[in-house]
Amino acid sequence: METRVVKAYGDEEKDRELMLEAGRIIREGGLVAMPTETVYGLAGDALNKESSKKIYAAKGRPSDNPLIVHIADMEALSKIVSEIPEKARALAEKYWPGPLTMVLKKSDIVPYETTGGLETVAVRMPLNEIAREFIRASGGYIAAPSANKSGRPSCTTAEHVLKDLNGEIELIIDGGAVGIGLESTIVDMTGEIPCLLRPGYINPKMLEEVLGRIEIDPSIGGVMDAKAHPKAPGMKYKHYAPKGELYIVEGSSENVIRKINMLVREHEEKNEKVAVIASDETKDLYKCGIIKDVGSRMDEETIAHNLFAVLREMDELEVSTIYTEAFDTPRMGMAIMNRLIRAAGHKIVKCE
């Protein structure tokens, strides 16, 4: 199969044609990659079990790891869930359309192939206009996990998607680079107290403003307990990992810089190719290795936006080891560190 990449911005007439075509592919049971404000998604018809099976196959994703269903309006929500708790309605009112996914009890029309065998369904209404147009053109219910091969960093550009899924899907809608760059916040709304399953742009404080007290799945806290059993099935799998061995180095800035410089020197003495993920503030303080700057610590949205692209770049550079600073930034630090810790397979070097 040939995978076409088509730009979806600028020309109104062409964009309309593209949406019609993309919608037709989905209605016929095919797969299309779509831009959203978080990361690119690999889209299929959420109500067609054969489409969901195709998504798992294209991604190489374990079939017990459920897909998020993307909708374009509240009417669609009432069709795919069996009840909408008051708190879920309030959260939708505040943060939809946007980078928030809610887990709710599924209705009968959602096949178990889409929910990984669960009685619940994860639902999101994206903010990205192209995504919403495409969802409408496709019939209203799009199952879309992140458009990367299972285990790889998520895709924040159409080029990343092509690299992972060339020949496996019909079409990539190129909406340019995504805005946020980390996947949506996931909140389980099926229990008495809402529970955060995956941190994202919408942080715990923003959720509490609407919901009052929330629980936080212990597997996602700042420094994750490797043994905790996550409630979102996907969170138990190794994810986001570059091919080189990634280590997070934690401690005071001064100690981290000294430690990384020492470790990199040791590798270079053995003729190994090593990279360092640093910030604007620290990049000039590293003396050896390939230095990649993810952005300023004063601008955490840029760090989030660049993170997956930098992890992917590590593969292009063919480095065998990567050391990264920790980014416990105030607003998005939980989400950034959650991705980094999983990418590193929990390998953390502490240097207090």
User: Which residues contribute to the site for ligand AMP (CB under 6 A)?
Assistant: 65-68, 103, 115, 118, 120-122, 145-146, 183, 186, 197-198, 232-235
Q: What is the 3-state secondary structure (H, E, C) of 40-107?
A: CEEEEECCCHHHHHHHHHHHCCCCCCCCEEECCCHHHHHHHECCCCHHHHHHHHHHCCCCEEEEEEEC
**What does the buried/exposed string (b/e) look like for 225-238 if buried means 16 or more CB atoms within 10 Å of the residue's CB?**
eeeeebbbbbbbee
Rounded to 5 degrees, what angle do the CA atoms 277, 278, 280 make?
145
Q: How far apart are CA 258 and CA 271, in angstroms?
A: 20
> To the nearest whole angstrom, how small is the minimum distance from the Cβ of residue 137 to ligand AMP?
21
Q: Is 114 in the site for Mg ion (CB under 5 A)?
A: no
Residue 136: name the closest of 7, 28, 8, 26 by CA: 26
Q: Which does 235 bind (CB under 5 to 8 A by kind): ligand AMP, Mg ion, none?
A: ligand AMP
> Do 32 and 175 contact (CB within 8 A), yes or no?
no
| Nearer residue to ligand AMP within complex by CB, 62 or 330 | 62
Q: Which residue from 69, 151, 316 is spatially nearest to 78, judged by alpha carbons? A: 69
Nearer to ligand AMP, 127 or 264 (CB): 127
First-to-last alpha carbon distance for the chain, in angstroms, is 53
CB of 145 to Mg ion, least distance (A): 5
- Please, what is the minimum distance in Å from the beta carbon of residue 197 to ligand AMP? 6
Q: Pick between residue 137 and residue 335 the one whose CB is nearest to Mg ion.
A: 335
Minimum gap (Å) between residue 215 Cβ and Mg ion: 23
Smallest gap, in angstroms, from Cβ of residue 146 to Mg ion? 3
- Pinpoint the alpha helices (H) of 147-246: 158-165, 204-211
Quote the least distance from Cβ 118 to ligand AMP, whole Å: 5
Q: Which residue, judged by CB position, is nearest to ligand AMP in the bound state?
A: 234
From residue 121 to residue 160, the character string flagging contacts with Mg ion as x (rule: CB under 5 A) and all else as - is -------------------------x--------------
Task: For the CB of residue 194, give the shortest distance to Mg ion in the complex, in Å.
Answer: 22
Q: For residues 178 and 186, which CB has a smaller minimum distance to ligand AMP in the complex?
A: 186
Among Mg ion, ligand AMP, none, what binds residue 282 when CB lies within 5 to 8 Å by partner kind?
Answer: none
Residue with tokens 């607003």: 331
From residue 311, give the alpha-carbon distance in Å to each of 29, 52, 72, 259, 294. Answer: 32, 28, 31, 21, 10
Residues 193 and 286: their CA atoms lie apart, in Å, by 46
351 binds, among Mg ion, ligand AMP, none (CB under 5 to 8 A by kind): none
CB nearer ligand AMP, residue 164 or residue 325:
164
Chain contacts with Mg ion (rule: CB under 5 A): 146
